[in-house]
């Protein structure tokens, strides 16, 4: 059909937000660097990250990327701990974060984990950040940033996205150097 006879020339499409181009995190998101790693309910998360690091080291034994996670209840007690098991279980969803969230939810018989804190050695991916948000966790504490797949701050900011119905506080860089070294050493040996 010719122009003017029911044909409309293509219109330039604009993104559905007020931002030019693609946005992966909203402009109101609070960068984790602005959070104090000071005490939250008397916890500085240093020791809890140590427990997550111990878990991460176990993943290497079965060829998994060394990522470990612990889940804390409202009192700060570790109520679940695990490490990546994707290779071991041949399950793409067997990330440390998913395993601890699932274990605790089954134990409580409730998917709502309000009052809980996820402590993980590597910034959670979008799947794990989404699971933490859907589980209604209070906060996510992570060690090393993940510039290639981070769903908490590096690429996306799922836990603080106002378009979703729940948000989590975020604390980053707890023992980040130690967490990052564990990962880089693993990949150096793997190559």
Query: 86-110 as b/e, with b when 16 or more CB fall inside 10 Å?
Result: beeeeeeebbbbbbbbbebbeeeee
Contact 95, 86 (CB under 8 A): yes
131 three-class SS: helix
Complete edge-to-edge strand list for the sheet that includes strand 117-122:
78-83, 68-72, 117-122, 139-144, 169-171
Catalytic residues: 97
CB atoms within 10 A of CB 189: 8
């Amino acid at each position: 059909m010719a122009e003017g006879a029911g044909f409309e020339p293509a219109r330039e499409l604009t993104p559905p937000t007020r931002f030019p181009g693609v946005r992966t995190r909203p402009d109101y998101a609070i960068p984790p660097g602005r959070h104090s790693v000071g005490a939250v309910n008397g916890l500085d998360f240093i020791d809890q990250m140590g427990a997550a690091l111990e878990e991460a080291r176990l993943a290497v034994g079965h060829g998994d990327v060394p990522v470990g996670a612990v889940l804390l209840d409202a009192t700060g007690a570790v109520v679940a701990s695990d490490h990546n098991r994707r290779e071991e279980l041949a399950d793409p969803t067997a990330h440390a974060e998913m395993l601890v969230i699932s274990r605790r939810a089954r134990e409580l018989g409730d998917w709502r984990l309000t009052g809980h804190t996820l402590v993980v050695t590597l910034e959670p991916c979008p799947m794990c950040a989404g699971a933490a948000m859907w589980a209604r966790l209070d906060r996510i504490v992570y060690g090393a940033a993940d510039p290639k797949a981070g769903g908490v701050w590096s690429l996306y900011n799922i836990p603080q996205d106002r378009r979703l119905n729940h948000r989590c506080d975020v604390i980053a860089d707890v023992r980040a150097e130690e967490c990052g070294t564990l990962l880089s050493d693993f990949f150096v040996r793997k190559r």
